[in-house]
Amino acid sequence: MPVLKHTHTYGRWKTRGGEMHFKCLDPQCTHFAPRSLVIGKESKCSKCENIVIFDWKQAERAKTLCLECQNTKEARELKARKSATEDLMSIAFGQTKETLEDLEKENPLA
């Protein structure tokens, strides 16, 4: 398979010798390079089409991830936390309402 002329999507890849290399994640592409050659190069995000400069922080990841996709994950976690809080609040309100209705039933105003 050929090395494609595109912006590679680098992902961590260990050679048989145990060396740290980075390989293009595109199944059609056979490009790979040692970390020292990949640092500073352009790499495509493994989740979207964004191009990022492959730096030491990216090298710590298993796959290249652009800032937007990193933020999306954080945003998703934040959203999950927020909806959990909203659920708790609606349960609390629901219980309060039921309790009030029960009280009204037990003590009719008429």
* Interface residues toward Zn ion, by CB under 5 A: 4, 8, 24, 26, 29, 31, 45, 47-48, 50, 66, 69
Count of CB atoms situated within 10 Å of the CB of 51: 14
Residue among 48 and 92 whose Cβ is closer to Zn ion: 48
Q: How far is the CB of 19 from Zn ion (least distance, A)?
A: 19
Q: How far is the CB of 72 from Zn ion (least distance, A)?
A: 8
Q: Which DSSP string corresponds to 82-98?
A: HHHHHHHHHHHHHHHHH
Q: How far is the CB of 51 from Zn ion (least distance, A)?
A: 9
Q: How far is the CB of 45 from Zn ion (least distance, A)?
A: 3
Question: Is 44 exposed, middle or buried (CB count within 10 Å of its CB: 0-12, 13-18, 19+)?
Answer: buried
- CA–CA dist 79, 86 (Å, integer): 10
Enumerate residues 6+ apart whose C-beta is below 8 A from 58: 10, 43, 52, 64, 65
Residue among 68 and 86 whose Cβ is closer to Zn ion: 68
Residue among 60 and 106 whose Cβ is closer to Zn ion: 60
Residue among 48 and 91 whose Cβ is closer to Zn ion: 48
